[in-house]
């Protein structure tokens, strides 16, 4: 049994037998079909695929067809055949290698990614010309290859593709987009391809590839894969107070998330509409995609991020200046504001689509308040235009992605103007630790970035609570099972993860919430302020509470030293000694949360407040922490009491 840790182009889990795709050897092939007929045949198969794939992939498949018409590819092949008498198969090979090398020499990673497309198209042309066919999948399988072209992927029965593993690849390649559109796990990187044969047992789980697992490991993997398939059909774990949302890269991803029982879409990327095409998408094209996604989600939230292009995601048609360090240059909202008409086209499409569902707009890479102001001003201008044109539209909630230390420091000011925050922990870690996300070996630095990032998350949440807005985490941290409880304890409202991780994330969230969802009484409907056993009012060992003098009360004998808000509301006072907090709920009622009995005598020793007077809080948010041992060593009770006036 061999295990490899590879790069993840599309997350997921799969257990199936290997289907190996070897590089075709063009030598010895005899041309049985004319070159032009082969080109037309392949073009038609791509057009057929486009009709089945959905409108959001029209641009990508169009880019494949344009390559078939590229004078540097098929044009050069024709020249070699006509001027030099080169055999058609040899001409295709030479022309493809020449153009592929041009692409590979380009500094733009998306342009470099087209090299694989050219090689793949060449391979398909060779098969057609020689009268051979791509071998069909007869059973569920994991594809194994040096690289797989989009053309080949589109020809295979995608219902039988359980996963893919290639030596060459990219998370931004056409193949990755196609795999993501149908939820197929895809890994790429260095592994011993020659040691894998057709029919070998393979397991893909997250970023790991297991070759030749033993019987027990194989059986467990098959069970896990079946369980995940059920999750994708909507049979996920039960309700949690924390919203479990999905990330999406296309309308197809949105549909799968809806079917899998996601509470909403926390991040729908729109880059797929702008990349891998000859020109920018029109307003109507974008409107159709956004509207389709909104209708799929119904009343559930659909948070759509405006184009986050630049850095490693630059369209060939957009003339962005070459930069020595593009990750620190023109990307995200900076590209949008510098290309106003392009941005307005997207905003108009989003505002129109918002009339068809519960859409929220999210702005990427915000680092300054003026960027949010400028984007909001453009949005208002677009609304006026649409209204004057008599087009149906709606102004949705507008939020920002917090993904730089600058945005963290400006969070209080941003929270005053934004409707919500979304924390992009991938970029936040990168910029905090000065660590390239694409680094080959981040080693201990990546893990050591967790602590400073969590300190930033605390600051973000505090700023959000002060303005009463919600916070979602949509980076990789949200999908880490070992981080779910910690994020919930910090007070995040939503976690947004890949569809493949929805069920497990919900399970971990439910575990983290145990003890908090018990009602304080049969009448008030508030949540318990702590994890632990409920103590009726008459059993509280303090007459001020048990007599009802302070109102309706209930106690919790805590399992740990954490105290949570029993409801949404505003903090009206905090004790100087840190042991008590009062909250005014949305109906104007006052709730007292008291940690320990007679703990005022400790004069704050062992208590740490996590919220301040005037802050707005949400139910379940962490309010304060205390050291239970200090309380008990002083001969006092650590019981947490909530009293309603």
318: which 2 tokens?
Answer: 């957009």
pLDDT exceeds cutoff 90 at 473 = yes
3-class DSSP state for residue 562?
strand
Q: How far is CA 207 from CA 185, 216, 260, in A?
A: 10, 21, 22
Percent of the chain having pLDDT more than 70? Answer: 87
Q: Which of 289-303, 530-544, 596-610 has the lowest mean pLDDT?
A: 530-544
603: which 2 tokens?
Answer: 């004069």
Q: Dihedrals φ, ψ of 607, to 5°? A: -115, 135
Taking all residues of the chain, what is their mean pLDDT, rounded to a whole number? 85
Instruction: Map out the domains of the chain as residue ranges.
Output: 2-222, 233-512, 532-644
Tell me what pLDDT residue 326 has. Answer: 67
Q: Dihedrals φ, ψ of 69, to 5°? A: -105, 5
* E strands in 123-221: 141-145, 161-166, 186-188, 201-205, 208-211
Give dist(CA 353, CA 209) in Å, integer: 41
Give the helix, strand, coil percentages of the chain, each rounded to 5.
45, 20, 35
116: which 2 tokens?
Answer: 């694989």
Tell me what pLDDT residue 288 has. Answer: 94
DSSP 214-231: -HHHHHHHHHHHHHHHHH
278: which 2 tokens?
Answer: 């000859």
β-pairing, 569-574 with 580-584? Answer: antiparallel
Nearest to 158 by CA among 176, 141, 133, 134: 141
State the average pLDDT over residues 152-175: 82
pTM of the model: 0.61
3-class DSSP state for residue 172?
coil
Tell me what pLDDT residue 446 has. Answer: 62
Catalytic center residues: 174, 474
- In terms of average pLDDT, the best of 61-65, 567-571, 577-581 is 577-581
Residues 401-426 pLDDT 10s: 999 999 999 999 999 999 999 999 98
Q: Which residues of 377-400 are buried (b: 16+ CB within 10 A; e: fewer)?
A: ebbeebbeebeeeeeebeebbbbb
Q: End-to-end alpha-carbon separation of the chain, Å?
A: 65
Cross-strand bridge partners of residue 564: 622
Output the CA torsion 100→101→107→108 (10° steps): 0
Q: Which CATH code fits 2-222?
A: 3.50.30.10
Classify residue 390 as left (phi > 0), alpha (psi -120 to 50) or beta. left
Helices (H), 194-307: 215-232, 251-259, 283-297
Q: What topology is assigned to 233-512 in CATH? A: TIM Barrel (3.20.20)
Contact 229, 203 (CB under 8 A): no
Tell me what pLDDT residue 548 has. Answer: 78
Contact 568, 618 (CB under 8 A): yes
pLDDT exceeds cutoff 80 at 315 = no
Contact 264, 296 (CB under 8 A): no
pLDDT exceeds cutoff 70 at 595 = yes
Q: Residue 183 carries which DSSP code?
A: T
Contact 602, 579 (CB under 8 A): yes
Tell me what pLDDT residue 27 has. Answer: 47
Give dist(CA 34, CA 41) in Å, integer: 11
What pLDDT band is residue 58 in, cutting at 50, 70 and 90? Answer: low
Nearest to 505 by CA among 266, 302, 255: 266
Tell me what pLDDT residue 26 has. Answer: 46
3-class DSSP state for residue 614?
coil
What pLDDT band is residue 328 in, cutting at 50, 70 and 90? Answer: confident
DSSP 466-492: HHT-EEEE-SGGGG-TTTHHHHHHHT-
Give dist(CA 438, CA 146) in Å, integer: 21
pLDDT exceeds cutoff 80 at 92 = yes
92: which 2 tokens?
Answer: 């295709």
Q: Which CATH code fits 532-644?
A: 2.70.70.10
pLDDT exceeds cutoff 90 at 191 = yes
Contact 6, 188 (CB under 8 A): yes
Classify residue 212 as left (phi > 0), alpha (psi -120 to 50) or beta. left
Q: How far is CA 456 from CA 355, 411, 462, 571, in A?
A: 35, 10, 10, 22
Cross-strand bridge partners of residue 203: 15, 210
pLDDT exceeds cutoff 70 at 233 = no
Tell me what pLDDT residue 108 has. Answer: 67
pLDDT exceeds cutoff 60 at 522 = no
Q: Residue 266 carries which DSSP code?
A: E
pLDDT exceeds cutoff 50 at 151 = yes
State the average pLDDT over residues 553-578: 88
Helices (H), 15-74: 35-53, 58-68
Give dist(CA 233, CA 529) in Å, integer: 35
pLDDT exceeds cutoff 50 at 523 = no
Helices 425-433 and 450-467 pack at an angle, to 10 degrees, of 120
88: which 2 tokens?
Answer: 């058609």
State the average pLDDT over residues 454-465: 92
pLDDT exceeds cutoff 80 at 184 = yes
Give dist(CA 116, CA 354) in Å, integer: 38
Q: Confirm whether 2-222 and 532-644 share one CATH topology.
A: no
Length of the chain: 645
3-class DSSP state for residue 211?
strand
């Amino acid at each position: 049994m061999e295990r490899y840790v590879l790069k993840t182009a599309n997350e997921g889990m799969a257990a199936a037998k290997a289907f190996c795709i070897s590089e075709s050897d063009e030598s010895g092939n005899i041309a049985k079909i004319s070159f032009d007929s082969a080109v037309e045949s392949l073009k038609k198969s791509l057009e057929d695929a486009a009709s089945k794939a959905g409108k959001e992939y029209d641009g990508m498949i169009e880019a494949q067809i344009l390559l078939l018409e590229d004078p540097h590819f098929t044009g050069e092949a024709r020249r070699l055949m006509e001027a030099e008498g080169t055999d058609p198969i040899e001409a295709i090979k030479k022309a493809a290698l020449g153009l592929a090398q041009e692409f590979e020499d380009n500094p733009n990673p998306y342009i470099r990614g087209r090299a694989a497309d050219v090689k793949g198209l060449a391979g398909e042309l060779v098969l057609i010309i020689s009268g051979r066919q791509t071998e069909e999948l007869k059973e569920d399988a994991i594809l194994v290859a040096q690289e797989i072209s989009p053309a080949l992927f589109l020809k295979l029965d995608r219902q039988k593709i359980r996963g893919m593993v290639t030596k060459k690849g990219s998370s931004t390649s056409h193949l990755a987009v196609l795999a993501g559109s149908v939820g197929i796990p895809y890994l790429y990187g260095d592994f011993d391809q020659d040691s894998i044969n057709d029919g070998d047992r393979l397991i893909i789980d997250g970023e790991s590839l297991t070759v030749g697992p033993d019987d027990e490991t194989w059986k467990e993997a098959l069970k896990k894969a079946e369980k995940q398939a059920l999750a994708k059909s909507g049979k996920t774990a039960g309700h949690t107070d924390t919203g479990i949302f999905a990330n999406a890269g296309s309308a197809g991803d949105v549909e799968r998330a809806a079917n899998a029982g996601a509470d909403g879409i926390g991040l729908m990327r729109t880059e797929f509409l702008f990349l891998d095409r000859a020109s920018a998408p029109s307003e109507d094209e974008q409107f159709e995609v956004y509207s389709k996604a909104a209708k799929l989600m119904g009343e559930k939230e659909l948070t759509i991020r405006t184009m986050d292009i630049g850095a490693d995601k630059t369209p060939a048609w957009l003339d962005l200046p070459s930069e020595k360090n593009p990750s620190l240059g023109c990307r995200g909202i900076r590209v949008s504001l510098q290309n106003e008409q392009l941005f307005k086209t997207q905003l108009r499409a989003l505002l129109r689509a918002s009339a068809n569902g519960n859409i929220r707009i999210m702005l990427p890479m915000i680092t300054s308040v003026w960027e949010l102001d400028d984007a909001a001003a453009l949005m208002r201008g677009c609304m006026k235009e649409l209204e004057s044109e008599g087009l149906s539209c709606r102004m949705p909630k507008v939020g920002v992605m917090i993904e730089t230390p600058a945005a963290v420091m400006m969070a209080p000011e941003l929270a005053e103007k934004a409707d919500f925050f979304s924390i992009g922990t991938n970029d936040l870690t990168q910029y905090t630790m000065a660590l390239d996300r694409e680094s080959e070996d981040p080693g201990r630095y990546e893990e050591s970035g967790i602590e400073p990032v969590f300190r930033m998350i605390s600051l973000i949440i505090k700023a959000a609570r002060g303005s009463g807005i919600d916070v979602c985490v949509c980076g990789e941290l949200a999908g880490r099972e070992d981080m779910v409880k910690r994020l919930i304890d910090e007070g995040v409202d939503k976690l947004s993860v890949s569809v493949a991780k929805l069920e497990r994330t919900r399970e971990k969230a439910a575990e983290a919430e145990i003890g908090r969802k018990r009602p304080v009484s049969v009448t008030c409907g508030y949540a318990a302020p702590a994890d632990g056993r409920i103590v009726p009012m008459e059993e509280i060992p303090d007459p001020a509470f048990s007599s009802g003098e302070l109102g309706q009360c209930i106690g919790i004998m805590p399992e740990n030293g954490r105290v949570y808000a029993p409801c949404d509301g505003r903090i009206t006072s905090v004790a100087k000694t840190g042991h008590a907090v009062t909250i005014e709920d949305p109906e104007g009622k006052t709730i007292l949360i008291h940690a320990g009995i007679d703990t005022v005598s400790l004069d704050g020793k062992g208590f740490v407040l996590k919220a301040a007077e005037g802050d707005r809080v949400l139910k379940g948010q962490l309010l304060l922490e205390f050291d239970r041992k200090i309380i008990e060593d002083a001969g006092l009770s650590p019981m947490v009491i909530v009293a309603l006036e």
